[in-house]
Structure 1
């Protein structure tokens, strides 16, 4: 993948101060592989910066309308700059989550919706105010073109070794999976080439295509005795007989002989598992850990950053040379995460972070630290990341 027209070749982090709509309008079409956006949630509160969209008419409905009017042209630009294989992740909470989902369906296409992930960023729950102690927000995930998207919604981090309780003589861990296909959509009528007998020894465990001394014929059946099919073809069984085992089991109709696959924890190329759509703070970090990350680099200058663990999980769903755009860069978490991810896997990701010169809240930690705008916060963190982790930093 090549870099965008604002990225500096070989530099991991580039920063642009300005209105993100103007900046994205100047980017080449298809020049970005991954967009992460953390827009204002329109909560009506002020933190390090203002998070409210005022209108002179319309009350609450007018405020929602003003927020959507801000978001629509920016999402249209996100759609334009995404490569055909690209994807976008947008953080949001319940204030505008439903409206954002409809807007993204309209701009990016309902057919390109990939997931709505629940992210547990505040495991203690918010104790202020009335009602429930909210402990989550959302990630809305869309592809530029779902048929061509490079996103891999799996991760080695999702693999739990405890799911592999068996231990082979050489110390390798595995689990037994039925060789028969347990989905009744696959049966002798829909997959006739996968319905055939094999031969196995339930005492010794050996499995083969042809009979051998001590073997019995085994045909795939469902628990109720209906004919089933194998998951493996004849050639695959012939090539990997040592990964199969014959066992006697207790079925619904009493004991019967069946064939199982030894599914190894370690496999060539590494094992990955599909990511679930609830991400816990223990896995991706919390708002508290995110504040600590910023504080360790540049001081306590941002009250509600995202944790780098969340962004690193997002980054790992895309190729390691992805061109990344964060149009609402905030404290600079995405750029920080890009540097960490590149160090972890030797990747060559590049990140373009954009932030406006919006003044920080009077009396905030950022103001006391001498940072007058949110862009100053982003700039300070990305410079510190380059000094601490490498990868360079350029401002355009």
Structure 2
């Protein structure tokens, strides 16, 4: 696959505490950070600065200890993140409010890209008191929002039924008004976009200069007040086949208006159709904890109770260039590296991923321990090795 054709290995693994490994990496050497850190649920974790804190200090003390655990790791992650890069962190209700404030401090409040709801347990957790929680969160921040290359859209969310019309050549499209429907944009605020075009009702053709059989059309709102076009004259001249005219009914009676043909399959810039991502990601779109367990089981067996689905990470990867350098320094079961290999195999991308995990022991009697994995890092390593064999992309240790 492409990741191997130029000598690059898709997946690299480093065993060790992330605070030991991250300082050895060059500044700005990664385009995307994805983290699924240990949540503050009262469990024990074998990082060198155990964040359990004083059990007698109550919730406030545990929040404080968890934030003290996360702060240096976020700061170290920011150092290795490129100026054009972004970071996504998974978190649940226990710490989302505190983590957002911490990330505001480390990355800057102005660099918040989104707080995404991920519906990873559509059935809802039935154990315990209260509501059946069915979601977690993703906090997304840019290192520098003005320079970030993240594109908050995806080709996988495009729905064919949204494009109900069929052109003579068989391409599907929908009509979008060429007129700017936002009244903030009008001849006073955007005078260069208020001009006449000429169109033929017989052929549907639209031009910026008069031609035989054409009628003059100026942009107006539904109430007849002056409006502006969304496209400039040069853009209209460059894309005449993407426009058409038709009769519409307005408040002052029938009139001729101009519409953009918004194509389904290939956009005018050749990049293909993408759709802006919403901030709620459903399990049927990105997978669930159940599908994530099944994914891992198909590779290594049932060794983790709540891994993340590769679909969640692949949606994140969709927002970044296909040659982005990814790092996950809470690698856990190795979902991120698996997702990177799958994405490369699907589109020929040249993404690389560094997965870091400490040698924290698996719980005695757990599925992982019974399967012969004494540490979580052993699970990470085994999964990435299996992915290299099944999907491709290669594997090496850092």
TM (norm. structure 2) is 0.93
* Aligned-CA RMSD value: 2.0
In the aligned structure 1, how far is the partner of 2:382 from the partner of 2:134?
29
Residues 262 and 24 (structure 1), Cα distance of their counterparts in 2 relative to 1, 3 Å cut? same
1:186 and 1:228 in contact (8 A); partners too: yes
The equivalent residue for 1:326 is 328
- Displacement of 1:213 in angstroms is 4.6
Question: How many aligned residue pairs are there?
Answer: 388
The equivalent residue for 1:44 is 42
Task: Check if 1:160 corresponds to 2:159.
Answer: yes
- Displacement of 1:57 in angstroms is 3.9
After superposition, residues 106-121 of structure 1 pair within 5 angstroms as: 106-121=105-120
2:51 and 2:68 in contact (8 A); partners too: no
2:46 and 2:360 in contact (8 A); partners too: no
Task: Check if 1:315 corresponds to 2:329.
Answer: no
After superposition, residues 68-217 of structure 1 pair within 5 angstroms as: 68-217=67-216
SS in 1 for 2:110: helix
In the aligned structure 2, how far is the partner of 1:53 from the partner of 1:210?
72
Q: Could you give the per-residue CA deviations for residues 34-86 of structure 1, whole angstroms, max 9, x where no partner exists?
A: 1111001112257999x982414421110111100100000010111111111
Q: Could you give the per-residue CA deviations for residues 258-288 of structure 1, whole angstroms, max 9, x where no partner exists?
A: 1111111122221112111111111111111
Question: Which range is displaced more, 201-210 or 286-295?
Answer: 201-210
SS in 1 for 2:388: helix
SS in 1 for 2:302: coil
2:45 and 2:360 in contact (8 A); partners too: no
Gaps of 5+ in 1: 1-7
After superposition, residues 23-38 of structure 1 pair within 5 angstroms as: 23-38=21-36
In the aligned structure 2, how far is the partner of 1:46 from the partner of 1:76?
23
Residues 189 and 129 (structure 1), Cα distance of their counterparts in 2 relative to 1, 3 Å cut? same
2:287 and 2:312 in contact (8 A); partners too: yes
In the aligned structure 2, how far is the partner of 1:67 from the partner of 1:385?
32
- Displacement of 1:206 in angstroms is 3.1
In the aligned structure 2, how far is the partner of 1:391 from the partner of 1:242?
42
The equivalent residue for 1:4 is none
SS in 1 for 2:108: helix
Task: Check if 1:264 corresponds to 2:263.
Answer: yes
In the aligned structure 1, how far is the partner of 2:114 from the partner of 2:376?
30
1:43 and 1:52 in contact (8 A); partners too: no
SS in 2 for 1:116: strand
In the aligned structure 2, how far is the partner of 1:240 from the partner of 1:342?
33
Residues 56 and 137 (structure 1), Cα distance of their counterparts in 2 relative to 1, 3 Å cut? closer
1:13 and 1:393 in contact (8 A); partners too: yes
In the aligned structure 1, how far is the partner of 2:178 from the partner of 2:198?
13
Q: Could you give the per-residue CA deviations for residues 237-262 of structure 1, whole angstroms, max 9, x where no partner exists?
A: 23333322221112233322211111
Gaps of 5+ in 2: 1-5
